[in-house]
Chains A and B, each alone.
Chain A
Amino acid sequence: MRLVQGNEAAVMGALAGGCNFYAGYPITPATEIMEQMSRILPSRGAVFIQMEDELAALGAVIGAAWGGMRAMTATSGPGFSLMQEHIGYAAMTQTPCVVIDSQRVGPSTGQPTMPAQGDVMQARWGSHGDRAAIVLTASSVKDVFDVTRLAFEWAQDYRLPVIVLLDAVLSHMRENVELPPVPDPIARKPVAVREDQPAFGSHPFIPFSGSTRTIVSGLSHDERGMTRGAIGQDAEQIIRNQLAEVDRDYKRIVQFRRYRLDDATWAIVAYGITARAARAAVNSLRESGLRVGLLELVTLWPFPEQTIHELAASVQGILMPELNLGQMIWPLKASVAGLAPVSSMGRADGELFRPEEIVQTINRLDHRNAAISSVIGGGKHHA
C-alpha cells in the first residue's frame, strides 16, 4: 500500500501497459506525468523527449509508434485543443497511441489549476471528420492506473488514439492504493510481415521494419495506403469497419460501475471525479429512505447506449451532474429515448459538485414527481 498521486498512477499504468516512449510539453495540471516520465524512462532504455509544443508532442508520438514503440503524451485543455490535428492524423493512419488529457476549466487558459469535465465532447469529436474513438475516464487513483494500462492495450487492439480524461483534482489527488510492481521494459523485436500484408484497414498494426515498405498518409487511402484513384469509398469503409469493430466489442470496451442501482427508483449517471460526489449523495439519500443508485461511466466513448436505455426503463428519472454546462447529457438523452425524464446539473466554475447539491436536486425532483403523481392519482386536473 502506497500513497500515490493521480498523475503518478497514470505513469505507473502506462508502464504497465508497455509504454516506452513519451513526448510532451509542460502544462498544468498534467505536468507531473511528464516530469516522472523524464526521471523513469531513461533508466529503462526508453525514450523521453520534451517537444516544442503539443502538436509536436503528438507528432513525435505518432512517428515513434511507426518506429515500433508504445507511445503516449499527456496534456490539458489548451494543449489538447492543439493536439486535435494529430489526433485526426492518428485516427486516419490507424496509429496506436495514448493521449491523457487532465481537464481544467476552459475555454482558453481558463483556470489552469481547477477541475472541469469540459473536454468530453472534444475528446470524441474534436478533430475534423469522422473517426472511431475510445475515451476512458477515472474517478480514483486506482482507476487512473487501470484505465491508462487498458488504454495502451486497446490502442494496439483497435489501432486508435485512445484518450484518457482526468481532471485537475484527480491528477493531483493522493490515495492509498496497492499497485502491481512495474514490469520490466518490453524488448523491441522485429515483427514478421508477409510481403502482401496490407498496412491499413482491419489488419494488425505493423510498425516500420526492414521488410515493410509502408506509406503512411493523412490523405484518404485504401488498406494498402494508396491515395490515388477512387479511394473515397475505401477510406470510408476503413472508418466504418473501425466503428463496427468497436461496437462489436461493446461488452469489453464499455465499462461502467453500478452502485446501489438494483432497487433504485432514481438513477444518477456520472463519470470521472463527479461520480465520487454522486456516490456520497447516493449514500446520504439512501439514509433518508430514497432509493437512489449510481451508474458510473468509466468508458465515455463509445457511449453506453444500451446500458442507459435499459436503466431508463427501470427508474422514475435520471440525473446527470457534470463539470461542464451540459455535454454528456446529449448522448444520455438520446440513449434514454424518452423512457424516463432526464435532468442535467452543470457547472464550469472550477469547483466540484458537493454531495449535498446532488442530494438537494434529487429531493427536489422526487418531490415534484410525488406532487405530480398525487395530482394525477387524485384524479384532479388543473387548468
Chain B
Amino acid sequence: MYEEFSAPDPLCIRLSGRGGQGIILGGVIIAQAAMYDGLFVVHTQSYGPEARLGSSKSEVVVSRFEIAFPEVIHADVFLCLSSEAYLKYHKAISPRAVSVIDDLIVAEDGFPSEIFLPLRRTARNLDNEMTANIVGIGALTGLAHIAQPVSVEKAIREWVKPEFRDVNLRALEAGLNLVPHSAMTSG
C-alpha cells in the first residue's frame, strides 16, 4: 500500500483543516524542524477573517537552495484534518504525493493513494483532540521524511507552550506509530 517516497527539492508541504486545529502551528513546527536539518524553509499561512472555525491552510517549502516562490501549488505532502479543507485542497497535489487524511473525513471522490489514518481519534485517546495536528505530523515524518524525528521533537519543544509539551510529544510518538513499520523502513 505504501510506496516509497523520495522527497523532491523543493519539497512542498500543505497542512489544512479548520481554524483552531493548530494547522498554522503545525506548519511552523515542520519549518523549524527542517531548519534544524540545515535546510532553507519558507512557511506561509492562510486563513479566513475569523480567528476560529474558518478553513485554515499552512504551507512549508523546504529546499537545499534559496526558495523563490514561497507558496505551495501542488503539494508533495498533504495533511488534512477537516472535510471542508479536504474538498478544497485534496486534488491540488503532485502526482506522487503523500496524502494523509484524517479518517473521520468522508471522502467520496478520494484518490486511491490517499492514506486515511485515525489522527483525531488518536488525539482523543491522548485526551487532547488539539494534538491531531501533531499526530498527523508524526505520520508524515514516518511516511514522507519531512524532517528528522529528533528535529521535529526539538521543534515541538521550541514552539509548544510548556504545559502542552508532554502531550504533544506523546502525539508525535503516536503519529509515528500509526505508520506501519514497513513504510518507515522502506523510505
- Looking across the interface, which residue of chain B has its beta carbon closest to that of A172? B45
Contacts of A113 in B (CB 8 A): 46-49
- Of the candidate stretches B36-44, B124-132, B137-145, the one touching chain A is B36-44
Q: Is A354 a contact partner of B73 (Cβ separation < 8 A)? A: yes
A277 to B44 CA separation, bound complex (whole angstroms):
14
A1 to B35 CA separation, bound complex (whole angstroms):
9
B35-65 interface with A by 8 A CB criterion: 35, 40-49
Q: Is A276 a contact partner of B70 (Cβ separation < 8 A)? A: yes
Q: Is A112 a contact partner of B49 (Cβ separation < 8 A)? A: yes
B8-60 interface with A by 8 A CB criterion: 28, 31-32, 35, 40-49
Interface size in chain B (residues, C-beta < 8 A): 20
A273 at the interface (CB under 8 A from B): yes
B1 at the interface (CB under 8 A from A): no
Contacts of B40 in A (CB 8 A): 175-176
Q: Is B73 a contact partner of A279 (Cβ separation < 8 A)? A: no
Shortest Cβ distance from B152 into chain A, in angstroms?
14
Shortest Cβ distance from A310 into chain B, in angstroms?
25
Shortest Cβ distance from A272 into chain B, in angstroms?
12
B111 at the interface (CB under 8 A from A): no
Contacts of A354 in B (CB 8 A): 69, 71, 73
A14-36 interface with B by 8 A CB criterion: 28
Q: Is A3 a contact partner of B31 (Cβ separation < 8 A)? A: yes
Using a CB–CB cutoff of 8 Å, the interface residues on chain A facing chain B are: 1, 3, 28, 111-114, 169, 172-176, 273, 276-277, 279-280, 283, 352, 354-356
Q: Can you list 27 A-B pairs with a CB-CB distance of less than 8 A? A: A3-B28, A3-B31, A3-B43, A28-B49, A111-B49, A112-B49, A113-B46, A169-B71, A172-B44, A173-B43, A174-B28, A174-B43, A175-B42, A175-B67, A176-B31, A176-B40, A273-B70, A276-B68, A276-B70, A277-B68, A277-B69, A279-B69, A280-B69, A283-B68, A354-B73, A355-B68, A355-B69
